[in-house]
Amino acid sequence: MHDESDDRPVGDGCRSPLEQHLDRLDVLKVGLWNSFGIDLRTATRRVQEDDGQTRSERFHYLPELIPFLHARVITLETKQRRAYESVKERATESFWKLYSDFQPMVHVVAESTGIDADRLDPVLGRSLLLFDASRRTKFVTYLEKSLRESVKNLRGEDHARQLGLPLSAGRLVPQMQWVLQRAAMEAGRQLSAEESDAVVIEFLTQHRCKFSNDSMRRIAEVMRRGRGDVSLQSCREWLEPSVNPASGVSAAGNDGWLEAQEEHDAQLRQVHAAIDRAGFDADEQCIVLHRLGLPHDQTRYDRVASAVTSASLRKRAARLLVRLMAARYAPQAPRFGGLLHSTSSQAKDALHGTLAALATENGMEPEVLATDLLNWMSLSESVYRVSIAQRGRVAEYLCGDSIATLPSGTFQKLKAALIEQERLGFPCWDESASTRQQNRFF
């Protein structure tokens, strides 16, 4: 084993620190293969379970590997052993450095998917051990794909355990939920037991994973009896940001006379109607449904997600949520709902006229009215919250003639805020008027 790591010390300006740390790990992996014939892709170790049983497990962390090598290292000549120790020390240092640096990325994925970060940590460790720079893939991209696949597997394990399904079927639960929901919405009612089973069995028959007839019937029964209702609670923080969570059910869709299941179905149909109203294509639809935690076309989502980074996908989902919120409440906003499919340049004159009319109705100057709206948008926890830079551009757009257009994402936020404000009776202006009245009194 030759110590090549001194030839490329960390800090060399020719390569990034990430590449240099990965080089150190690569030197160790090449040495292990050349000296001992060890391939980390297939190498395993024996692990003892709590019940005393042992099983084979692949390596996820570099320190797990070191004791495994001891018997081989002591057979090396002194010079080779010294080289190994030097390579091992540098590789271990780089392993823990990168492991620490990429922890925030693991926690972001864990938080966004609801998977415990402790269950994803081994994925990071193994990605560091297996990454092959010669394939011309960036490590960040490789790690993102590894985490994405691991999340799918872990969710499949959870579904399989909770529903008593085979692991291969557990991975398909989100997709089966999607086809069942789509069939129910097309029928306009709840599916009968026979219809539900037929939908699931048809899906399983066409899937590349093959199941016996008995297995398909059992899976269909489990999906019918054990899948439960899709919860809409996670959607409300995105779609109804101004509703007090303590009040339980929001006003939208709660007609009082609907039975619980009918109300649930009605609200779900409202979400899908908003998706249609927003004009989402198939890719956008599956992205936003995934972000809301609702059943969606998992195969399409995986295809979309594999083509971009996780950060890009999150940003795209956030922009789509803004459009979805505006589309959901546009019918309840006669003044601003018509802006739904307008660009900022198309809407500017009409928007100025509408705001001027509202200012007159409220006995306010248009500039004051716009400022109150921007204050609301800046402090809101909603998807339409604006940054300082975005606020400045919106203020210029609303109050002056210096700019005629806004960036698409910023204008979508403005439309969503105006639509929600109109739906709620413009609370931002009521609160501001009350505050100004109090200030004049004192």
Residues 437 and 390 in one domain: yes
pLDDT in tens, 59-89: 999 999 988 888 888 888 889 889 999 999 9
In the structure encoding, which two tokens stand for residue 361, read together?
A: 């109705």
pLDDT at 396 over 60: yes
Q: Which pLDDT score is estimated for 250?
A: 41
**Residue type (1 letter), 321:** L
Residues 318 and 180 in one domain: yes
In a domain, 150, yes or no: no
Q: Which residues contact 420 (CB under 8 A, 6 or more apart)?
A: 241, 242, 325, 326, 329, 333, 382, 384
In a domain, 154, yes or no: no
Residues 428 and 353 in one domain: yes
Structural domain range at position 57: 5-101
Residues 207 and 321 in one domain: yes
Residues 292 and 220 in one domain: yes
Number of domains the chain is built from: 3
Q: In the listed set 299, 327, 355, which residue is the last one of a domain according to the structure?
A: 327
Residues 262 and 406 in one domain: no
pLDDT in tens, 89-101: 999 999 999 999 9
In a domain, 22, yes or no: yes
Q: Which pLDDT score is estimated for 244?
A: 44
- With a pLDDT cut of 70, the percent of the chain lying above it is 84
Residues 313 and 194 in one domain: yes
Note the pTM of the prediction, 2 decimals. Answer: 0.65
In a domain, 388, yes or no: yes
Residues 195 and 297 in one domain: yes
End-to-end Cα spacing for the chain: 82
Residues 238 and 370 in one domain: no
Closest by CA position to 240, among listed 419, 19, 405: 419
In a domain, 97, yes or no: yes
Distance, CA of 253 to CA of 245 (rounded, Å): 16
In a domain, 310, yes or no: yes
